[in-house]
Structure 1
Amino acid sequence: MPSQVAMGLVRIEELITKLDRAAIKHLSRLPALRSLDLEIPDLQHLGSSASVSQPHPFPALRNLSFFSSTIDFAVEFLDVLSDCSLSSFRIGTEVLATKFIIGQLYSALPNHLSHTALESLLVRLTEEGYMPTPQADMITNYVINGRILAPLFYFRNLTSISLSPPVGFDIYDATAWEIARAWPKLCSLELSSATGLHHPSRITLDGLRAFAKHCEALTCIAITVDASVVPQIDDNVETRLTQSSLLHFDVGRSPILDPSTIAQFTSGLFPCLETIDTHNEWLWDDPLIEDEDGEMAEAHALHQRWKEVEALLPNTVSNSVS
């Protein structure tokens, strides 16, 4: 029924529904359609039947979302578009996608979308959804490295990015600098994992300097770092690199040894930082959780050490009030 209704639409500007191939093809001809939220039933694929003959399909489309769908479908849908001036592209999925499939998406985006118009990019787990965790010995089939991520660097005007592949990222400090230089207008950045299996981070605390130098508007960052080694702190206020916009830092499962020196480093680099969050930190507020196995105990200890860092920040709520 939604597809039959869609086939009769002419002046619609926004549509959120499940559609078949013929209805999507019809919508591509509408001159005023600005927002399209697609939930694809039964994981259907567009296939060759979705090819569009007109030279500029979806001429007014600015916001495109796929929810309860697959990355495969989104890649096939992108083939319909040609230099589309989207400002927002979002995918929510619960289906495991290998690094090959995700790489196809990251490569397809700059091939079919305007490099200057896109401002918001979200590819992550569906809200309140669940994605099955891959086997640990298969982690290399799912982890995203800098080479796979690189095609997204064409989008120079991105302000909000949320990418959560199944097991996260395998990137280094050099990639952090590439990210910061490629996306200088970022206000929010999330690079996380969608499952319980997480590839260890190779970005160090020193790599955070990239965002302090190039991303002046960044207020929220969610990225795992290796905080086991703390870089030397520049005590000279005239030469010290600082960024005063960052307020919130989600460290995920970042390893940590010395909270006090990390607090000194992070507050020196980001003097207005207020909060530090960890992976699933809501767990530690649950009174029903009493017995912790080895993995849970380690995660709890990590959370507590990062909360020590937060408590030492000069701009935390408790310190600001006092």
Structure 2
Amino acid sequence: MGAGNAQQNFNVVHAPDLLVKQHMNNDSGPIQTLKPRILLLRTIRASDWSRVEFYGRLVKQLSSGTDYWSLSSLFPALSVSLPDGLFPNLQILHWHHSKNDFHYIHHFLRPTITKISLMSSSNANSSLFSTLATKCPRLLDISVSNTGHDSLEPAVSEFVCNLQCVQKISVPSLDQRALEHISRLTTLNQLILFSMPEVLMPTPLHQSSTFPALRRLTLHYPSIRPTTQFLGWCSGVPLAEFHTCFWEAVAGTEIDSFLAAISTAFLHSSLTSLSIDGDCDDLEGSDPNIHIITLQSIRRIFTFVNLTELVITSLVGFDLDNDAVAELARAWPRIVTLTLAVCFPRHEPSVTLSCLHSFAQHCPHLRVLTIALDARVAPSPNIDPRTRFVQHALTTLCVEHSPLTEPLHAARFLSGIFPKLTNVQTQREHYANDEEQEQEHGDAIRLHRLWKRVEWLLPELSAIRDEGMMLAQAPWTA
């Protein structure tokens, strides 16, 4: 419980003889932590509330029900005598309680609240949503998470349909009517969903553009087919950031349809950040070739010429060669972060180190690049500065599972076109890579160590080049 950013200890500030805060060990994990628990020392008296009400108008934010801080032990006694309007200026409410304590939220709802975060665990809590929009008419930011197995979609969707000036919505899911409602709001600028309705009307929502103010859209682990259908609803959305992750084995044809839907849903000039992540448990029994992402599919998003961040994760890889990479580099001249990641590589990459010339030539702002490439043969760096493109922004190169034989040759080539490159990472970057791991991942660890040798050589080679340039520019003396 706090006023502004100040976190006040309730029993010390207001009634030291009434409350005590005890610490309890949390033995749920290997590292023990301390959790506070508030206990009543005596019966609550009327005079206690006068003390609280004096400071209550200063409280702008209330958080309860988290693992670290909870008022649960006080609710039975508080609910009997809690005065109305305890915190008349409350603006932010975080309420993360189980179903047994969830209903006590009614004591703290105020018309001044603009941001609310709820963790509801069952349909037993859903009755709150029928009155929430009325009790808190100024809501701008609403976040609802569901920790149980019951679907809250009907109650949450009905609640959302009553919001008129909301700016941010984060909920597990919404039905078709709620999606139609928020698509017309001129205030909504951020939307976060975890799933989409399996069946949507095939006809467009509106003749005009949808989501006229939406700037950020995040879809966590939805199914790709209803998500593609939802994007087919959208038109002319001025989106700046779109992030999603599919926790399923997505076929290349599904990705193609998905990227086509993105291309028609969002304004081409507005989108600057696009992230399409993905993963699944394994691909046993599946033909890896059906999951490959092709250049033809990626071309569908070439229309977003202002992209500064692009992340695409393929389950098995990309069908790209050096010429295809050159197309990518020319398509996004403003790109800063480009990630073409692979979860389960099935084929050696067709892209070679030479493709990096395209990024040096066409992407002057590129700082982080993730791409799998065949580095077993390194091209000789062109020593003529008049024909060699040198890019001074790239600092991090993630090479995934790229094959490599001679670290010195690769490092010499890389330092010649990316003199600021200092960080080279592989898929084994955050693993132990010890003897025990070598039994199962020996080849990957060997490649990791070779690329780490490249990383070690880069600053040495850059220093040699800098020294050579200084000597070449120095006046000659006999």
The answer to whether the superposition gives a TM-score over 0.5 is: yes
- Name which of 430, 436, 452 aligns with 1:290: 436
1:178 partnered with 2:333:
no
Residue 413 of structure 2: SS of its match in structure 1? helix
Give the aligned residue type for 2:257: Q
Q: 1:169 to 1:136 in 2, by over 3 A?
A: farther
Aligned equivalents of 1:49, 1:142: Cα separation in 2: 27
Q: Which has the higher contact order (CA 8 A, sep 6+)?
A: 1
Conserved in 2, the CA contact under 8 Å of 1:21 and 1:50?
no
Give the aligned residue type for 1:31: T
1:202 partnered with 2:350:
yes
Conserved in 1, the CA contact under 8 Å of 2:192 and 2:218?
yes
Instruction: Spell out the pairing of 1:18-97 with structure 2 (5 A cutoff).
Output: 18=172, 19-40=174-195, 44-48=197-201, 51-53=204-206, 55-97=208-250
In structure 1, the partner of 2:454 is 309
- Name which of 150, 156, 159 aligns with 1:5: 159
Aligned equivalents of 2:235, 2:402: Cα separation in 1: 40
Give the aligned residue type for 1:52: L
Give the aligned residue type for 2:214: L
Deviation (angstroms), 1:139: 1.1
- Name which of 295, 304, 312 aligns with 1:146: 295
Deviation (angstroms), 1:48: 1.1
Give the aligned residue type for 2:187: A
Aligned equivalents of 1:264, 1:67: Cα separation in 2: 41
Aligned equivalents of 1:37, 1:50: Cα separation in 2: 23
Task: Give the unaligned 5+ runs of structure 1.
Answer: none
Deviation (angstroms), 1:165: 2.1
Deviation (angstroms), 1:44: 3.4
Aligned equivalents of 1:112, 1:58: Cα separation in 2: 10
Q: 1:99 to 1:217 in 2, by over 3 A?
A: same
Residue 217 of structure 2: SS of its match in structure 1? strand
In structure 1, the partner of 2:393 is 245
In structure 2, the partner of 1:156 is 305
Q: 1:15 to 1:242 in 2, by over 3 A?
A: same
- Per-residue Cα deviation, 1:120-144 (whole angstroms, up to 9, x for no partner): 000003xxxx512224761110001
- Per-residue Cα deviation, 1:125-174 (whole angstroms, up to 9, x for no partner): 3xxxx512224761110001211211111111100000002212120001
Residue 210 of structure 2: SS of its match in structure 1? coil
Aligned equivalents of 1:278, 1:22: Cα separation in 2: 46
Q: 1:291 to 1:163 in 2, by over 3 A?
A: closer
TM-score (norm 1): 0.90
Residue 84 of structure 1: SS of its match in structure 2? coil
Residue 117 of structure 1: SS of its match in structure 2? coil
Task: Give the unaligned 5+ runs of structure 2.
Answer: 1-154, 465-478
Deviation (angstroms), 1:238: 3.9
Q: 1:137 to 1:200 in 2, by over 3 A?
A: farther
In structure 2, the partner of 1:15 is 169
- Name which of 314, 317, 331 aligns with 1:168: 317
Conserved in 1, the CA contact under 8 Å of 2:428 and 2:444?
no
Give the aligned residue type for 2:189: R
Deviation (angstroms), 1:237: 3.3
Conserved in 2, the CA contact under 8 Å of 1:88 and 1:118?
yes
Conserved in 1, the CA contact under 8 Å of 2:369 and 2:397?
yes
Return the index of the structure with the highest Cα Rg: 2
- Per-residue Cα deviation, 1:178-210 (whole angstroms, up to 9, x for no partner): 0000001000000012x3344421111001100
Sequence identity percentage: 30
Q: 1:206 to 1:282 in 2, by over 3 A?
A: same
Aligned equivalents of 1:258, 1:305: Cα separation in 2: 8
- Per-residue Cα deviation, 1:38-88 (whole angstroms, up to 9, x for no partner): 111xx6324217841352221111111110212222211111111221111
Aligned equivalents of 1:223, 1:100: Cα separation in 2: 22
Aligned equivalents of 2:198, 2:460: Cα separation in 1: 50
Conserved in 2, the CA contact under 8 Å of 1:143 and 1:199?
no
Give the aligned residue type for 2:164: V
Give the aligned residue type for 2:458: L
1:133 partnered with 2:282:
yes
Conserved in 2, the CA contact under 8 Å of 1:244 and 1:271?
yes
Aligned equivalents of 1:242, 1:152: Cα separation in 2: 27
Residue 446 of structure 2: SS of its match in structure 1? helix
Conserved in 1, the CA contact under 8 Å of 2:190 and 2:214?
yes
Aligned equivalents of 1:49, 1:220: Cα separation in 2: 40
